[in-house]
Amino acid sequence: MIFAKIAGTGSYLPKTILSNADLAERVDTTHEWILERTGIVSRHIASLSETTTEMAVAAAKKALAAANTLPNEIDLIVVATCTPDKNFPSTACHVQQALDIPPCPAFDLQAACSGFVYGVSVVDQFIRSGHTKKALLIGAESMSRVVDWQDRRTCILFGDGAGAVVIEAAETPGILATQVSADGREKDILFLDNSPGATLQMQGNSVFKLAVNQLDKIAGKILADQNLTIAALDWLIPHQANIRIIQATAEKLGLPMEKVILTLDHHGNTSAASIPLALDIGIQQQKVKRGQLLLLEAFGGGLTWGSALIRY
């Protein structure tokens, strides 16, 4: 039987850092107001010349090195993003060209902030079917280009960056289970129109309530389906959207915050990049270690949500 496992991770963050104090010079806000409501201190912002593709490639190179994998060994590329450089060709095709990866399936996946978890589910099935041996999965976003920098409700939340993983076929389970879903009835509480100059629109209170309820349900279900309890988890690696959502979810699950990987304070919400960024940072900090049980969970516009239970 074929299974899928994470062989290596990598991440990239733009050099430019925008602090809460910097934002206070642009909009009517303060460091204290932002920190109290979101848990964010600063975020990384891509330069005018820095593209989603470039960030994706930089993260991918680190993941390939960590996995001891050459580009010509990759036979599937999936990029989760809602801020591609072009509608087409896909960001994945641009990554393929930049890394000189031979012809193989390459496509973008758009599930907003849930995109990376959706990607884990898709890649897992490609590998389990025998179609793929080594895949490159990337979450990359340039969220700073789609927010209204005059709207303090949204511009304080988002940042840019990319995270990547190499997932390969294995004889023992790595990705134990994935669950993804969506409810299009909630499409209007978080969206970005595809029109010139459009900016992200969000009903914060509605997103908060739905996110906490769904994240609690999906975490409980995926663990129960595997005959596991929350006590079995070594780390929860959630989408880094808002500290209050993360804390409320952990509390509902009965999970101490000491078991939650947090990068929100210095990354902000990087949409589909947030989980792979947090995963790689957790590994770099020697918190996340081989053999540990990880639960990834996310929610995003759509409304989409998903989880992945992984033995790292």
Q: Six-digit token pair at 165?
A: 């993983």
Tell me the backbone φ, ψ of residue 108, rounded to 5 degrees: -95, 155
| Alpha-carbon gap, residue 244 to 250, rounded angstroms | 10
* 269 annotated active-site: yes
CA distances in angstroms from 291 to 5, 55, 173, 179, 191, listed in the order given: 11, 29, 11, 21, 38
Crossing angle for the helix pair 52-66 and 274-284, nearest 10 degrees? 40
Given the residues 44, 113, 155, 267, select the one marked as catalytic: 113
Residues 6+ apart with CB under 8 A from 266: 41, 42, 43
> For the chain, how many helices (H) and strands (E)?
9, 13
**Which of 9, 293, 4 is closest to 174 using CA atoms?**
4
Given the residues 20, 239, 242, 267, select the one marked as catalytic: 239
Count of residues for the chain? Answer: 312
* 239 annotated active-site: yes
Count of other CB atoms within 10 angstroms of residue 42: 19
* 44 annotated active-site: no
The set of catalytic residues is: 113, 239, 269
